[in-house]
Amino acid sequence: MRIILRITYWLAAIALLAAILVSLDYSLAQAVLIGLVFCPCALVLEYLMPKARKPMDKVYLSLAVLVAVILLILILHQFVWTTLAQGGYHLPEKEVAPMLINPAFLGLILTALSIGDYYWSQWLGRRFKAKDRSVTFFSERKSVTLPLADIAYVESNDTEVRLITVSGESYRNKTGIGQWENLLGEDFLRIHRSYLVNTAHARLLNADTVAVGDAQLPVSRKYKETVLCLESAGS
């Protein structure tokens, strides 16, 4: 259900963008195709912006996404319409609307889509708690399904990742810890390049250590600020 509702958000966003573009004399098919361009770019902005620690990294990321959107829009106008027409889809030729190459307008749309999806995801996370969700993966060539609430922490050891449960069971897996971070969601917190902990089972011992059950895990300098939320949650 959570995935369906995420998809619903993006379908609604595409429909709204298409309505705006139709008002600029684009055909419905053209408006939908242009609307589709914004979705992956907004998602890239949403997921990579928090990982850009330095201000200039955020600036470079924003500029890269803006350039990508403008290039994709130009490609649609210069090549895709012609290609579709040759395939029997008669789309009217259309000059690029000035606002579609206006960085301020594009930035506004991308920011609105990213922020909207972020808060929508936050609401869905509260609506569908981790205890109601599970994850399925392969360990030792066997399919394993675990409730998210049963996972204590995830540990990365270069070539493999281990999922440690609250009861002390360990499951080996080849999926990278960064992918696990996105998969498990906001109930799990990255405290180190090698550790991802379930906030429901973690407590901050000091500025450099987080306890999860009987395990004491190190906190790296990069994640110290984010780990402070454990102290706030426990107080």
Question: Inter-axis angle of helices 55-75 and 103-127, to 10 degrees?
Answer: 110
The domain limits of the chain are 2-127, 133-234
Please give the pLDDT value at position 145. Answer: 92
User: What is residue 159's predicted lDDT score, i.e. its pLDDT?
Assistant: 81
Residue owning tokens 């206006």:
102
Q: What is the pLDDT of residues 186-213, one digit of tens each?
A: 789 999 999 999 988 988 888 889 999 8
Looking at residue 235, what is its pLDDT?
45
Identify the band that residue 49 occupies on the pLDDT scale cut at 50, 70 and 90: confident
* pLDDT-derived band at 48, boundaries 50, 70, 90: confident
Residue appearing with tokens 């470079």:
60
CB 188 within 8 A of CB 126: no
Check pLDDT > 70 for residue 81. Answer: no
Average pLDDT over residues 29-49: 89
pLDDT in tens, 59-69: 999 999 999 99
CATH superfamily of the 133-234 domain: LytTr DNA-binding domain (2.40.50.1020)
Q: How confident is the model at residue 229 (pLDDT cuts 50, 70, 90)?
A: low
